[in-house]
Structure formats: C-alpha cells, structure tokens
Amino acid sequence: MESAAKRQQGATFGVYAVILAVYFVIPDMGYIAPSLSAIAEQYGVDAGSASYLSTIVSLTQIASALICGLIAGKLVSRKLLLSIAVTGMAVFGVMPVFFSPAAVPFWVLMVDRAIFGLFLGFLQPIIFAFVANVFSDENKRANGYGIGNVAFNVGAVFASSAGGICVGIGWNTAFWLYAIGLVVLVFVIVFYKEPLVKMDDEPKSEKARITPLAWFYMSIIFIAMVLDYPFFTVFISALIDHGVCDGVMGGQLLSLFTLVGIVVAAIFGLLFKNLRMKILPVACLLCAIGLSVIFLGIAVAESLPVVVVGVCIIAFGHMAITAGVPHCVSITCTPAVASAALAYTAMAMNLGGFVSSPYVQLVTSIEGSGDYAVVFLVSAVLMLVFAFVVNMVAGKKRGDKDVEVR
C-alpha cells in the first residue's frame, strides 16, 4: 500500500507537464509536409523521392523503439535518455535550415532525417512507460494516456498550421520549428522525476515474459495503422480524382480528423472506465464503418457531407485505438516487462505506418485503374473482419478481472 501511495505522489503538475510536452512534439510530419513539394523543386527530385523525407523517419523510429526497450531504465535512466532524445531531435531537426541544395546533396538531407527519426523514436516508448509508471490505478492511467493524446492532436494541428505558414517564407524555414525540442528539454530537466517504484523493479519470482494477449494488443495497433494510415496519404488524392472537393477542403477534413481526435482523447478515461477492454473491438468496428462511409462518399455518392460523416467516425475509432492499446498492454503483461512491451507497441505503430505505403500500392495494382478510393473499401472489409477477431480475444476473463493482470 505504501509503495502504491508513493507512486501516486508523482501524479502532480510536473507529471502532466512532462506528458503534455513530450506528446505535443511527437507528431513531426506536419512540420515539413507542406514543404515537400518545395523541397522536391529545390533539389530537382520528384515528389515520390521527396516523400521519403517523411517515411524514413518512421523507419528509423522502429530501430530506436527496439533499442529503447533494451536499455531504457536498465543501462540508461529514462530521464537521461529522454533528455538526449529531445536534444538530438532538436539539433538534427533544425540542421537542414543551414543546407543549400547547391552545396549539400539530397542524400545528406535524407541521412539527417534518418538520424532525426532515431532520436524522435525514443520519445514514444519512454512516455508510454512514464505514464504506466506514475499511475498505478487503471482508470487514472487511462486518463493519463488520454491527456497525452489530447496534446498529441493539438501538436499535430500546430505542426500543420505552422508548417503551412513557414513554406510561404522559404523551402527550409519549417525546419526551425523543430527547435521546440529544446523547450521540451527544459520540461524534462525540471519536471521529470523517476518514479520511486518502477514497473521494472517488481521482484521476478517467475520468468518474466510479455503475455500473448499483450502481443495481440500490439498487433491491433499495427493493423490499424496499416489499414487507416492511407487516410493521411491518399485520401486527398481520392477526393480530387472523384471531384468531391479540392485539396484545400481535403486539408480541412484532415484537420477535422484531428479535432475529433482531441475530443476522443479528452474523454478516453471515461470511455475505458465504462467499456474496459471492449473499447478495442468497438474502436475497430468504428474504423471499419468510417472507412466504408468514406468509400461511399467518394466513389458512390461523390458527396462531401457523406465524407465528413465518415471522417468523424474513423477519427473516433482510430484515436480510441492509439490511446487504448498502450494502456491495455501496460496492464496486461507483467510489470517487469511492461516497459519493453510499451517500446514494442511504439515500434508496431511506426512499422504499421511504414507498411501502409506498400499496402496501398498492392491494392491499387490489383485493382488496376489506380483508384485510391478502392483502398478505403478494402481497408473497411479487412477492418470489419479484424474487429470480430478482436472482440473474441480482447478482454479475456481471468478470475474476476477483465484482463490478464499479473
């Protein structure tokens, strides 16, 4: 009881300051996404090549998430590792401001982005574990992840808005925005406190392992990223191809997704308290419905209002998954391996986002005409099937508990 009380002492202003600051800076793509076409023009490469400046970040984050699971809290303290990560993110994020296409070749810019991704990749698994460490109560922990996802979505709105403004100034001006990592560093140094009792400190009376159920929860976020992520990559192209709206309105629909995500994240604690582990199959079902409505709105009805409804539904489901899976993983496996499990969860998220690109290429190549709207139909069907699978597995009973807590 005393140790649990000590853990709860960390639930202070400082705890929430760290959670909000780190989550805010994680959505990095919005900073340079508006500048990709200008970068392509400056370097004389096509748009596809320029897009790798974003995808290579996701790829290298997978490696750092794996490394984090092995060393965080074991060989290196989480506070030190997080401090190094946000510093490296700021340094390598800002570095392209000083690049000139005439003096610095495109491959150097790619290497810089890859190193940036390595540092950025440490943030998510560390903050996942931090939330799990400081909140022993499941409902308070759910609130912690929900608050973090509010900050994530607010950060995404800020990133896309600020990035759009910066591209009007210069092709590499947006890279200055990564200096915000230095502000996060101040929050980490001042407010981050290692919990007095950590998940990894539990006596290992039995062989510690990540439970099969935890691995299954990780697969949920991987599959959700593969099937939902085309919304961020080919959604606007599909809208334009079918004459539903122009790119400006498409961008506003992406902002609507983020705004709905903020609402979902804010009430996630309440949702989990009432639905428990069933929140995951419900979220998957909502994603399936949202994807199907988007397909109908684009390819069948060619109706913007229908698409808007679909965007709201998929946003609700997707954000419930991204907040719910880390929480479910943290309370399903043994405390001794929870930190590693959360690192693997972050890795699954990034891997799913990376795999979504070849998934889109596979679907469109099979379909033949290159109609991106078909991707949403296929994703809807696959997600519907997966929702039933998740419903059968998630929330498996163990005694009087909803989850396999060990």
Q: Please state the domain extents for the chain.
A: 2-199, 212-393
Q: Is 203 exposed, middle or buried (0-12, 13-18, 19+ CB in 10 A)?
A: exposed
The single residue listed with the structure tokens 């979505």 is: 153
Tokens standing for 364? 């469109």
Q: What is the pTM of this model?
A: 0.76
> Could you give the angle at the alpha carbon of 32 between the alpha carbons of 344 and 370, nearest 5°?
80
- Model confidence over 282-311: pLDDT tens digits? 999 999 999 999 999 999 989 999 999 999
Q: What is residue 355's predicted lDDT score, i.e. its pLDDT? A: 85
Q: What is residue 112's predicted lDDT score, i.e. its pLDDT? A: 94
Give the C-alpha separation, 67 to 232, whole Å: 28
Class of the CATH domain delimited by 212-393: mainly alpha
- Model confidence over 207-264: pLDDT tens digits? 568 888 889 999 999 999 999 988 877 887 888 889 988 877 877 888 888 889 888 8
- Model confidence over 78-134: pLDDT tens digits? 889 999 999 999 999 999 999 888 888 999 999 999 999 999 988 888 888 888 777
Give the C-alpha separation, 324 to 215, whole Å: 14
Residue 139 pLDDT class (50, 70, 90 cuts): confident
Do the two domains 2-199 and 212-393 of this chain adopt the same fold? yes
Indicate the average pLDDT of the chain. Answer: 82
> What's the CATH number of domain 2-199, 3.20.20.140, 1.20.1250.20, 1.10.150.120, 3.40.50.2300?
1.20.1250.20
DSSP state of 72: B
User: How large is the C-alpha radius of gyration of the chain?
Assistant: 21
Query: Comparing 132 with 344, which gets the higher pLDDT?
Result: 344
Give the C-alpha separation, 221 to 403, whole Å: 18
Longest dimension (CA), the chain: 67
Give the C-alpha separation, 30 to 22, whole Å: 16
pLDDT > 70 in the chain, percent: 88
